[in-house]
Amino acid sequence: MIPAHDSFYDVFSKGKKIKVQWPNGARLAVTLAGNLEAWTEMPDPKLRRTRHVGGSNPITAEEVRCKYDFRTASENDYGGRTGFWRILRILRKHGLKASFNINGLAAIRYPEAVQALHAEGHEIVGHSYAEDVQLILLSKEEEREEIRTCVKIFKDLTGVRPSGWLSSGMRHTEHTLELLADEGFLWHG
């Protein structure tokens, strides 16, 4: 059972300083995370409810009409073909591990990237099927299927399922946490 929104915040945010002791006496912890994203390229509201989000929040009328965003499409194609591999080389060079939020469609388009991440011990985080699939516009059952589809894609590619999830556009629904718990996820970003 997922706690109600207010009960979660009753545990935290009370203005009390929480004493944290990091390993080896470290004073700071750093988390490295990146995204590997893909859009459906099908601006049809019956197939995919929005074309892209491009960081706008909330979803705009243009997005609901599935207006094509060439800049974002080009930027994300570069990321999967070239940018990702540059980042991976930097992480390797410095012996660093990172978490990567990856859409299921990006995993299909760039399977070598996902397999390389897995082989090198980086965390693969489920990130919806495609970036233009907005969970807030799906029914509960459509959202469940979206999550299951992503899990299958990653299991087929790497042999393991993600333990974490970040909804596309960083938008989750009132059902997301329950559905993720039902599907065995440990955390949602």
Judge whether 142 and 181 are in contact, CB under 8 Å: no
Q: Which residue has the tokens 């299991």?
A: 155
Query: Mind spelling out the 3-state secondary structure of 17-50?
Result: CCCCCCHHHCCCCCCCEEEECCCCCCCCCCCCCC
- The helix (run of H) or strand (run of E) holding residue 124 is strand 123-126
List the pLDDT tens digit at each of the 189 positions of the chain: 555 555 555 656 667 777 788 999 998 889 999 999 988 766 555 444 444 444 445 555 655 555 666 766 677 788 888 999 999 999 999 999 999 999 999 999 999 999 999 999 999 999 999 887 778 888 999 999 999 999 999 999 999 999 999 998 788 899 999 999 999 999 998
- Orientation angle between helical segments 84-94 and 111-119, nearest 10 degrees: 10
Q: Which residue has the tokens 């799906």?
A: 138
Q: How many CB atoms lie within 10 A of CB 109?
A: 16
Report the CATH architecture of 32-188.
Alpha-Beta Barrel (3.20)
